[in-house]
């Protein structure tokens, strides 16, 4: 099954194909009326119709022929279908809009139409897709940058992360079931040991945070469920209680501490301050006395993940 991506960038034909070729793909070839109509319909949704004809490049050219008149598909597939406009079976003065497609490694579909979350997910599943799941800071930046180009920037849009279906509305999962972990935001206050025990009882640990994207996600969830003031904090699963020197911090779930977001001057070397909390309003980490009670964030493997 082919996957098509419609871009609002303007290119010359050569630059359009170069862009696609750099990603091991080509400008699109079309081999049936069904494909042609599908591309036409999707292009109309992407670019919109107006009193002016919206045109865009496809991968058909006569540049590679000896007579300069014979058209072939640039991906070398058979030229077994055409839909030339009347009296236009030669190169046209096209607006330089690019269609490119991704076949092997998936694609992203951006829709400008406003929908509720459930209708947006339904629209994706009708295309055998889901709302986007995001698994790295790079992917997050990519989706954001492409959305800015398509939607015009400063626009909120849905991704496939939801707590719908959980009993208390606090456990988040990706709609495509690609989550490796579930997160549980509990507003009830616990001390550090009680918090970790609660998470253990539910199959996880106080959350580890392995990159900036995950830090942003946990902060946003805490903001939503716990509220936000300058002094609001919640426990995360970082502590020096398990170290031999009482100063070396590690994650309770065993993950390496390769990323940190300590507040300036932290971690403080105080006798009682052995457990980390996140300050909700900015996502920074601070050391705290482990006996104090705060809301908690648990992280557990997604048991539904096959």
Q: Give residue limits of the domains in the chain.
A: 13-102, 117-159, 180-301
- Beta strand 285-289 with 4-10 is unpaired
Model confidence at 94, pLDDT cuts 50, 70, 90, reads very low
Least confident range from 18-22, 209-213, 241-245, 295-299: namely 18-22
Q: What are phi and psi of 179, to 5 degrees?
A: -60, 130
- Beta strand 285-289 with 273-279 is antiparallel
124-164 tens-digit pLDDT? 888 778 898 876 555 677 788 778 877 877 678 899 888 87
The whole-chain average pLDDT of the chain stands at: 78
For residue 289, pLDDT over 90 is answered with yes
Between 237 and 16, residue with greater pLDDT: 237
- CATH code for residues 13-102: 3.10.100.10
3-state secondary structure of 173: strand
Model confidence at 200, pLDDT cuts 50, 70, 90, reads very high
Least confident range from 16-20, 44-48, 70-74, 279-283: namely 44-48
Cβ atoms within 10 Å of 237's Cβ, excluding its own: 26
201-218 tens-digit pLDDT? 988 999 999 888 788 888
Q: State the average pLDDT over residues 251-268.
A: 93
Separation CA 278–CA 224 (nearest Å): 14
- Tell me if 13-102 shares its fold with 180-301: yes
Predicted pLDDT of residue 271: 65
Burial (Cβ within 10 Å: 0-12, 13-18, ≥19) of residue 75? middle
Contact, 91 vs 62, CB < 8 A? yes
Contact, 296 vs 191, CB < 8 A? no
Q: What are phi and psi of 237, to 5 degrees?
A: -90, 40
Q: What are the beta bridge partners of residue 189? A: none
Separation CA 93–CA 259 (nearest Å): 52
Burial per residue of 255-276, b for 16 or more beta-carbon CB atoms within 10 angstroms, e otherwise? beeeeebeeeeebeeeeebbbb
| The model's pTM | 0.49
Class of the CATH domain delimited by 180-301: alpha beta
Predicted pLDDT of residue 92: 34
41-53 tens-digit pLDDT? 777 666 554 333 4
3-state secondary structure of 117: helix
What does the block give as tokens for 231? 């002094």
Q: What are phi and psi of 39, to 5 degrees?
A: -65, -40
């Amino acid at each position: 099954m082919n996957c098509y991506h419609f871009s609002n960038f303007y290119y010359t034909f050569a630059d359009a194909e170069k862009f696609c070729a750099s990603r091991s793909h080509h400008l699109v070839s079309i081999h049936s009326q069904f494909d042609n109509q599908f591309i036409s319909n999707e292009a109309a949704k992407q670019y919109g119709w107006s009193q002016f004809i919206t045109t865009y490049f496809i991968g058909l050219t006569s540049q590679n022929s000896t007579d300069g008149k014979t058209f072939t598909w640039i991906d070398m597939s058979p030229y077994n279908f055409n839909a030339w406009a009347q009296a236009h079976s030669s190169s046209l003065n096209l607006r330089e809009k690019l269609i490119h497609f991704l076949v092997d490694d998936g694609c992203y579909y951006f829709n400008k139409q406003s929908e509720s979350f459930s209708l947006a997910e339904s629209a994706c599943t009708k295309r055998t897709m889901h709302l986007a799941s995001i698994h790295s800071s790079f992917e997050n930046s990519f989706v954001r940058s492409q959305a800015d180009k398509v939607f015009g920037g400063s626009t909120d849009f849905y991704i496939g992360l939801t707590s719908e279906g959980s009993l208390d509305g606090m456990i988040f999962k990706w709609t495509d079931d690609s989550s490796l972990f579930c997160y549980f935001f509990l507003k009830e206050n616990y001390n550090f040991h009680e918090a970790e025990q609660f998470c253990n009882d539910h199959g996880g640990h106080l959350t580890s945070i392995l990159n900036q994207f995950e830090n942003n996600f946990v902060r946003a969830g805490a903001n939503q469920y716990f509220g936000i003031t300058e002094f609001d904090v919640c426990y995360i699963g970082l502590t020096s209680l398990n170290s031999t020197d009482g100063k070396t911090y590690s994650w309770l779930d065993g993950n390496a501490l390769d990323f940190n977001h300590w507040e300036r001057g932290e971690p403080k070397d105080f006798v009682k301050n052995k457990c980390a909390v996140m300050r909700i309003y900015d996502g920074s980490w601070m050391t705290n006395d482990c006996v104090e009670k705060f809301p908690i964030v648990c992280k557990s493997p997604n048991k539904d993940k096959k």
